[in-house]
Amino acid sequence: MRSDAIKRGVARAPHRALLRATGQLRDEADFAKPFVAVCNSYVDIVPGHVHLQAFGQVVKDAVREAGGVPFEFNTIGVDDGIVMGHEGMRYSLPSRELIADCVETMAAAHCFDAMICIPNCDKITPGMLMGAARVNLPTIFVSGGPMLAGQDGEGNSSDLVTVFEAVGKHAAGQMSDERLFELERISCPTCGSCAGMFTANSMNCLCEALGIALPGNGTIPAVSPARRDLAREAATRLLDLVRSDVRFRDVVTPAAIDNAMALDVAMGGSTNTVLHVLALAHEAGLDYPISRFNDVSDRVPHLAKVSPAWDGPRQWHIQDVDAAGGVPALLAELAKRPGALHLDAPTVTGMTLGENLAHAANRNPACLRPLANPHSLRGALSVLFGNLAPEGAVIKVGAVEQHEQLFRGPARVFDGEEEALNAVVNRRVSPGDVIVVRHEGPRGGPGMREMLALSSTIKGIPALSASVALLTDGRFSGATRGLCIGHVSPEAAEAGPIGLLRDGDLISIDLGARRLDVALTDAELGARRQAWQAPEPRYTRGWLARYARLVGNASSGAVLT
């Protein structure tokens, strides 16, 4: 065992003395057992993680019962909803790299034999995946589970994006103080990751399709007793993986990533998943170009519209997906289409993905549409290319209305989210405009902030809701809906085309053709690039200054170089 490096032989007597002092080794026999890292992300300020201290104890007890010795450590966690719309959001994406470094450091330095990861929200799941890819131990992910949706006295459901959009309606005079306060109080009623198909739930569902988590990981509610049963089962399976020496990179292959993205585009997951999957592929040493996402989307239909998307008059939430059969039910629908999935891909269950789906059943074809009745024949995420995005830009096309598939309008250029939000709130943006928010990329931001405050405010203003487009070299929350295009690459800080735009430049968006273009010749773009000057860095010291110097392009996952 790897842990023999810290516990075997006469020379390791000092190491064993320290290990005894932890109280985790209860008798001499424990020194012969696998040492299991329990990587938890418990923090008090994140509602998706506030319950994970107790949840981690369930996992540790199960690891011990299964024959391992658990050693728990914690990562940091940034709550994207709480840091949204201010300087704190600049730390969100960079926190992913810190978490990956933390996982690698703890697992490698202490010679653990295996690892069970307990993530839930925002950048924690991808950060742990990246760290797990580096250390390549037998590993299982078991998330803390999704929040239940809120419900008002009339039976209307709500979630976090409901509140963000309500702020826009309130600013437009379309909602009273009393109604806004009611939504604030009821929309996040339990612990867990926010109740829609936002980034956290998207990533936790993707872990199932990747094969690195057990069925149910993405959808069983945080407050359900079944979530604790899943944790116990995961701990038991982990010790089986140790005995059979099945490691992280044995499971996470290009085929597994294809399966994960097939699920993502079928269920309309967050655009952030593209960024995180590219980063995971990088850490796993896999060649997975951003253009491959479109290849997957071309062969996989869009089968589920979950909040923030609307399915006609109805808005589904993660608890509805779980009641319908969860991720296995959706994957089983996809499995009916030849070539949509790699069914022979191994998983941590000890069976192939196809074998895992043998008994899956779709219990609500209105929520999870059957293959014969998709929302669209092409998946719900697209990577756009063109002279405005030579290296790609990403949109959740499944949350865009049909009349918005083609859009052409003049650019309104803003250097930062606050400047754009101020213009929207004060009616300095007109219907037909393309709102361009730049210098918010990985390097230029730094940190590639999400724009949920801006996008949801636009959605809350009837005059603008369906009549403007929004594009940025930053990101959008998984709670975003509408014609919102992010990850425009190269970013403005690299003298990418988005950094060369001027007010009035005519921008064309064609989602069917996956094109994002500006009506400028190569010669004009070249002349503007010659005159371009790099902006002064926002930070000259501390973590964000180091991050800005080291971070790479969004088209390759915004990983540190």
Hey, which residues are catalytic here? 477
Residue 420: what residue type?
A: A
How many CA atoms are closer than 13 Å to the CA of 525, on its beta-carbon side? 16
Alpha carbons 477 and 14: distance in angstroms, whole number: 49
Query: How many C-beta atoms surround the C-beta of residue 530 within 10 A?
Result: 8
Label residues 361-377 b or e (16+ Cβ within 10 Å = b). ebeeeebbbebeebbee
Backbone φ and ψ for 472, nearest 5 degrees, come out as -155, 155
Name the maximum alpha-carbon separation found in the chain. Answer: 76
Q: What is the 3-state secondary structure (H, E, C) of 46-93?
A: CCCCCCHHHHHHHHHHHHHHHCCEEEEEECCCCCHHHHCCCHHHHHHH
167 close to 214: Cβ distance less than 8 angstroms: no
Q: CA 195 → CA 35, 124, 157, 306, 423, distances in Å?
A: 35, 17, 10, 9, 30
Residues composing the chain: 561
Q: What are the DSSP calls for 284-313, one per residue? A: TT----TTHHHHHHHHS-B---BTTS-BTT
Backbone φ and ψ for 33, nearest 5 degrees, come out as -95, 160
Per-residue tokens: 478: 């998984």
Alpha carbons 31 and 20: distance in angstroms, whole number: 10
Q: What are the DSSP calls for 105-160, one per residue? A: HHHHHTT-SEEEEE--STTHHHHHHHHHHHH--SEEE----BPPPEE-TTS-EE-H
CA dihedral (299, 218, 356, 295) in degrees, to 10, reads 20
Alpha carbons 147 and 161: distance in angstroms, whole number: 13
Residue 384: strand, helix, or coil: strand
**403 CB-contact burial (10 Å; exposed 0-12 / middle 13-18 / buried 19+):** exposed
Query: How many C-beta atoms surround the C-beta of residue 298 within 10 A?
Result: 13
Residue 203: strand, helix, or coil: helix
Residue 42: what residue type?
A: Y
Geometric angle at alpha carbon 124, from 43 and 122, rounded to 5°: 95
Alpha carbons 560 and 537: distance in angstroms, whole number: 17
Backbone φ and ψ for 72, nearest 5 degrees, come out as -90, 140
Residue 376: strand, helix, or coil: strand
